[in-house]
Chain A
Amino acid sequence: MATEVATPRTKDLPQRVGRFTTGWKLFTVAGLVVLAFAIFAYVRELGSGMIATGMRNVGTMGGATWGLYITMVVYFVGVSFAGITVAALIRIFELGKLRPIARTAELLTVVALILGAIAIIVDLGQPIRGIVNLFRYARPQSPFFGTFALVIAGYLFASLVYLYLGGRRDAAAMAHYPSRLRGFYRWWAAGYMDTPEEQARHRRTSFWLAVAIVPLLVIAHSTLGFVFGLQVGRPGWYGTLQAPAFVALAGVSGVGLIIVLGAIVKRIVGDTERVSVDVFSWLGKFLLGLLLVYLYFMTVELLTLLYATPAVEKQLSDALLFGPYAWTYWGSVALLAVPALVLIWQAVTRRWNIGWLVASGVAVNLAAIGKRYLIVVPSQTHGTLLPYEVGSYSPSWIEYGVVLGLFALGALMIGLFVKIFPPLPLSDEEVMADA
Chain B
Amino acid sequence: MAKYAMVVDLHRCQGCRACVEACKIENNTGEGMFWMHVFRFEEGSYPDTRMSFLPRPCQHCDNAPCVKVCPTGARFKRDDGIVLTDAERCIGCRYCELACPYGVNYFNWQDPEDSQYAEMIDWTDPDIQQATGGAVPPYRNPDLEELWGSEQRRTGGGGHAKGVMEKCTFCVQRVEKGGQPACVDTCPVNALLFGDVDDPDTPISRFMRENETWRLLEETGTEPRVRYVGGKPPSQSYTEVERPKARV
Residues on A lying within 8 angstroms of B by beta carbon are 48-51, 55-63, 65-66, 123-126, 129-130, 133-134, 136-139, 141-145, 148, 227, 231-234, 311-312, 315, 380, 384-389
- Give B118 Cβ to nearest chain A Cβ, in Å: 17
Contact partner of B70 (CB less than 8 A), chosen from A123, A139, A148, is: A139
10 cross-chain pairs, A with B, having the tightest CB-CB distances, nearest first:
A125-B92, A59-B103, A125-B163, A233-B101, A49-B110, A130-B91, A144-B71, A51-B109, A51-B110, A137-B72
Instruction: Decide yes or no: A139 and B71 within 8 Å by CB, A60-B37, A125-B164 being known contacts.
Output: yes
Residue from B109, B165, B234 having most chain A Cβ neighbours under 10 A: B109
* 21 A–B contacts from the bound complex (CB under 8 Å): A50-B110, A51-B248, A55-B109, A56-B247, A56-B248, A60-B37, A66-B94, A123-B93, A124-B91, A125-B93, A125-B162, A130-B93, A134-B72, A137-B73, A142-B68, A142-B69, A231-B69, A232-B101, A311-B235, A384-B101, A387-B239
Interchain CA distance A130-B162 in the complex, whole Å: 14
Instruction: Give per-residue flags for B110-143: 1 if the beta carbon is below 8 A from chain A beta carbons, else 0.
Output: 1100100000000000000000000000000000
- Give B231 Cβ to nearest chain A Cβ, in Å: 14
Instruction: Give per-residue flags for B89-111: 1 if the beta carbon is below 8 A from chain A beta carbons, else 0.
Output: 11111110111111111111111
Residue from A57, A137, A145 having most chain B Cβ neighbours under 10 A: A57
Instruction: Decide yes or no: A124 and B239 within 8 Å by CB, A139-B71, A231-B99, A385-B220 being known contacts.
Output: no
Q: Report if B221 contacts A (CB, 8 A).
A: yes
Residues from chain A with a CB closer than 8 A to the CB of B165 are 125
Instruction: Give per-residue flags for B204-227: 1 if the beta carbon is below 8 A from chain A beta carbons, else 0.
Output: 000000000000110011100000
Interchain CA distance A309-B158 in the complex, whole Å: 38
* Contact yes or no, A387 B68, CB < 8 A: no
Instruction: Give per-residue flags for B170-182: 1 if the beta carbon is below 8 A from chain A beta carbons, else 0.
Output: 0000000000000
Q: Report if B34 contacts A (CB, 8 A).
A: yes
* Contact yes or no, B72 A126, CB < 8 A: no
Q: Report if B236 contacts A (CB, 8 A).
A: yes
Residues from chain A with a CB closer than 8 A to the CB of B203 are none
* Contact yes or no, B100 A125, CB < 8 A: no
Q: Report if B240 contacts A (CB, 8 A).
A: yes
- The number of residues on chain B lying at the interface, defined by a beta carbon within 8 Å of a beta carbon of chain A, is 57
Instruction: Decide yes or no: A231 and B103 within 8 Å by CB, A60-B37, A139-B73 being known contacts.
Output: no
Contact partner of B94 (CB less than 8 A), chosen from A61, A65, A141, A233, is: A65
* Contact yes or no, A49 B71, CB < 8 A: no
Q: Report if B246 contacts A (CB, 8 A).
A: yes
Instruction: Decide yes or no: A233 and B99 within 8 Å by CB, A50-B109, A126-B92, A126-B163 being known contacts.
Output: yes
Using CB atoms, name the residue of chain A closest to B65: A233
Interchain CA distance A227-B69 in the complex, whole Å: 9
Interchain CA distance A231-B153 in the complex, whole Å: 28
Residues from chain B with a CB closer than 8 A to the CB of A123 are 93
* Contact yes or no, A387 B92, CB < 8 A: no
* Contact yes or no, B107 A387, CB < 8 A: no
Residues from chain A with a CB closer than 8 A to the CB of B104 are 59
Residues from chain A with a CB closer than 8 A to the CB of B103 are 57-60, 384, 386, 388
* Contact yes or no, A232 B220, CB < 8 A: yes
Using CB atoms, name the residue of chain B closest to A123: B93
Using CB atoms, name the residue of chain B closest to A62: B247
Interchain CA distance A278-B240 in the complex, whole Å: 60
Residues on B lying within 8 angstroms of A by beta carbon are 32, 34, 37, 39, 41, 56, 65, 68-74, 89-95, 97-111, 114, 162-165, 216-217, 220-222, 234-236, 238-240, 243-244, 246-248
How many A-B Cβ pairs are below 8 Å?
166
- Give A51 Cβ to nearest chain B Cβ, in Å: 4
Using CB atoms, name the residue of chain B closest to A137: B72
Residues from chain A with a CB closer than 8 A to the CB of B222 are 233
Residues from chain A with a CB closer than 8 A to the CB of B234 are 386-387
* Contact yes or no, B92 A386, CB < 8 A: no
Interchain CA distance A250-B71 in the complex, whole Å: 24
Interchain CA distance A141-B65 in the complex, whole Å: 11
* Contact yes or no, A386 B216, CB < 8 A: yes
- Give B248 Cβ to nearest chain A Cβ, in Å: 7
Interchain CA distance A423-B121 in the complex, whole Å: 62
Instruction: Decide yes or no: A387 and B110 within 8 Å by CB, A125-B164, A139-B73 being known contacts.
Output: no
Residues from chain B with a CB closer than 8 A to the CB of A388 are 103, 240
Additional A-B contacts beyond A126-B90, A142-B95, A387-B238 (18; CB < 8 A): A49-B109, A49-B114, A49-B163, A50-B92, A50-B110, A57-B97, A59-B37, A60-B244, A61-B247, A65-B97, A125-B93, A137-B72, A139-B71, A142-B68, A142-B69, A145-B71, A311-B236, A384-B101
* Contact yes or no, A58 B243, CB < 8 A: no
* Contact yes or no, A61 B72, CB < 8 A: no
Interchain CA distance A245-B153 in the complex, whole Å: 40
Residues from chain B with a CB closer than 8 A to the CB of A387 are 39, 41, 234-236, 238-240
Using CB atoms, name the residue of chain A closest to B66: A233
Interchain CA distance A295-B157 in the complex, whole Å: 48
Using CB atoms, name the residue of chain B closest to A392: B247
Residues from chain B with a CB closer than 8 A to the CB of A57 are 32, 97, 103, 105-107
Using CB atoms, name the residue of chain A closest to B222: A233
Using CB atoms, name the residue of chain B closest to A312: B236
Interchain CA distance A51-B99 in the complex, whole Å: 21
Contact partner of A125 (CB less than 8 A), chosen from B68, B70, B94, B98, is: B94
Residues from chain B with a CB closer than 8 A to the CB of A234 are 98-99, 101
Instruction: Decide yes or no: A138 and B71 within 8 Å by CB, A58-B103, A130-B91, A233-B100 being known contacts.
Output: yes
- Give B100 Cβ to nearest chain A Cβ, in Å: 6
- Give B62 Cβ to nearest chain A Cβ, in Å: 15
* Contact yes or no, B240 A389, CB < 8 A: yes
